[in-house]
Chains A and B, each alone.
Chain A
Amino acid sequence: MRAEGALADRPLLVIGVGNRDRGDDAVGPAVIDHVRKVAPQLQTLVAEGDLSDLVLRWTPNQDVVVVDAVRSARRPGSVTVTDALATELTTEESLLSSHGVGLAETVELARLLDRLPRSLVVVGVEAQSFGPFDPLTEDVAAAVPLALQEVLLLAGFTMDSASAAIETWDLVP
């Protein structure tokens, strides 16, 4: 299934960040659930709460994709792809680790400790609501296939093979 692509021959770690029990914060783990079905060959990880442990998991020869709920001025459900090594993440863009060290701080910590991976891309989904035990809001749930598609493209899938995989699993909203 895996196609040729920029990262096709590199070890790729896909990390879903967020709390499954806090509304749209669960979008990162939700995308990872689908990645595991559609592309089980990819190494995946769900990180809930404090993210500082990620620093110890990243290695210099690794390519990392992080899927996270973000909060900016965009429309809820908007999907953005950000090169975290070329862009300074702000707390406004990476929210919702309800405890301890968030994604922006984790990237900065890894930078200071010389533990950044070779590449680090953040697939962000604009979130709307973070109520305890709430499900994903409609707009954010509808954005999961697009976020998944971005992950697959970063993993080296072609657009056609990514679309086919998503259709196979009936994930098209």
Chain B
Amino acid sequence: MTHKNVDFHVPVLARVEGEGAMHVKVADGEVTDIRLEIYEPPRFFEAFLRGRHFSEPVDITARICGICPVAYQMSAVHAMERLAGVNVGGSLRELRRLLYCGEWIESHVLHIGFLHAPDFLGYHSGIAIAADHPEMVERVLQLKKTGNDVVELLGGRPIHPVNVRNGGFYRAPARTELETLLRPLEEAREICVDLIRWTAGFDFPDLSQDYEFVSLRHPAEYPFNEGRIVSNKGLDIDVSEFESQSQEFHVAHSTSLHSRLSERGWYHVGPLARYANNFDRLPATIRDLAGEVGLGPVVTNPFKSIVVRGLETLYAIDEARRIIAHYTPPPAPFVDVPATAGVGWAATEAPRGLLYHRYETDADGLVLTAQIVPPTAQNQPTIESDLRQFVTANLDLELDELELRCEQTIRNYDPCISCSTHFLKLTVDES
């Protein structure tokens, strides 16, 4: 039967990072209310950064998130270096990309294997999959561990790395140390290809929107750390223009700010956006694999993000292997970044999407103001739009199934609620 009136509330969303809820209300066959409620208390990191020395945000902001600390570190150091007019190149730049490869692998694989795959396979958790697919789960663990090992070797710790500083690293690894990662990465590549083919065989619900995909784009690389902010609908700006082109605004049901682009509206960041804007920057082997598993250069069904995350994981593995194969230790582990009065901006590509930082410092290097715009905050209006369209098209589903699919719709974005609060429960109200 098709439901005319629905009102459900999922008080605690599972398999997302942080605490949030979902409320869906349908009256006379029309969706009247969709809310992704983020109730995790805001953590006021930006206020906490004021008065701190410009060398500290790299370590303080890394504590915002346990799954994407590298992203926070990279956005922070790039902003400080831009402020000081310092360009970090050569092997130090390559080591930063390698560190980001490790984070993409561990974050993407955790989401694919343990948080998102259960939705497609009908399990309540990633752990439950292990009872029926032990070999695949064991391989997923091995793949994720490879990412952890990259981050630990370069960052000193598998989460919240402590080896990153403005200008580079406290210690640069020897070539022999990095070479220990080559064999695990080669094994990881084989596992990742199998994982991509496995997820591509899932049954994907129908959902497609005319998204404005926003991401970095670099002249030569699939983006991690650098590039202009672009969209598939003509946006093409320097990172310094981001705040003038976007608006953050408060909604009553969320402790996380929402974002929209001025005169353009809500937009979509993350793997689907990066992939759409940078497909031509992927190596031919990965483009060919995408075609083999049925993906074109643009994917507009967010349920298929699980496959795109797999392709991005494969890219990170190949990029890590390339960097290690050509690595020559830098002459010094860092370049000097002097205290400078001014404003610095940076955006890098966290696993979940564009992560923007801006810092204003005085001549002593003390932070006067800080602004952080995390990817989940940017994606909230898009997630609610997806929910509205999905519920409208699927009111014939049993309520339990509808509720589960709505949660899955949210998990398509691998939302990091803790990051955004600086950000889920589902309520369906059937009146």
Instruction: Name A's B-contacting residues (CB within 8 A).
Output: 19-21, 48-50, 52-53, 55-56, 98-101, 105, 108-109, 112-114, 132-133
- A50 and B110 form a contact (CB under 8 A): yes
CB distance from A134 to the nearest CB of B (A): 12
- B159 and A49 form a contact (CB under 8 A): yes
| Residue from A99, A105, A113 whose CB has the most chain B CB atoms within 10 Å | A99
Instruction: Name B's A-contacting residues (CB within 8 A).
Output: 17, 43, 63, 65-67, 106, 110, 114-115, 125-127, 130-131, 134, 137-138, 141-142, 144-145, 148, 157-160, 418
- A52 and B114 form a contact (CB under 8 A): yes
Chain B residues whose C-beta falls within 8 Å of the C-beta of A101 in the assembled complex: 110, 114, 126-127
Chain A residues whose C-beta falls within 8 Å of the C-beta of B134 in the assembled complex: 112-114
Task: Tell me, in angstroms, the Cα distance from A131 to B145 when the chains sit together.
Answer: 28
Task: Tell me, in angstroms, the Cα distance from A105 to B137 when the chains sit together.
Answer: 13
Known A56-B142, A101-B114: A113·B67 in contact at CB below 8 Å: no
CB distance from A54 to the nearest CB of B (A): 10
- B43 and A109 form a contact (CB under 8 A): no
Q: What are 10 contact pairs spanning A and B, CB under 8 A? A: A21-B63, A48-B157, A48-B160, A50-B106, A50-B110, A50-B159, A56-B145, A98-B66, A113-B138, A133-B63
- B130 and A112 form a contact (CB under 8 A): yes
Task: Tell me, in angstroms, the Cα distance from A113 to B137 when the chains sit together.
Answer: 8
- B67 and A105 form a contact (CB under 8 A): no
Contact of A21 (CB < 8 Å), options: B144, B160, B418 = B160
- A108 and B127 form a contact (CB under 8 A): yes
Chain A residues whose C-beta falls within 8 Å of the C-beta of B148 in the assembled complex: 53
Contact of A100 (CB < 8 Å), options: B110, B137, B142, B145 = B110
CB-based nearest A residue for B110: A100
Contact of A99 (CB < 8 Å), options: B43, B67, B142 = B67
Contact of A113 (CB < 8 Å), options: B130, B144, B160 = B130
Task: Tell me, in angstroms, the Cα distance from A53 to B157 when the chains sit together.
Answer: 14
Known A48-B159, A98-B66, A132-B43: A55·B141 in contact at CB below 8 Å: yes
Task: Tell me, in angstroms, the Cα distance from A105 to B115 when the chains sit together.
Answer: 13
Chain B residues whose C-beta falls within 8 Å of the C-beta of A112 in the assembled complex: 127, 130-131, 134, 137
Task: Tell me, in angstroms, the Cα distance from A8 to B157 when the chains sit together.
Answer: 30
Task: Tell me, in angstroms, the Cα distance from A21 to B110 when the chains sit together.
Answer: 22
- A99 and B17 form a contact (CB under 8 A): yes
Chain B residues whose C-beta falls within 8 Å of the C-beta of A48 in the assembled complex: 66, 157-160
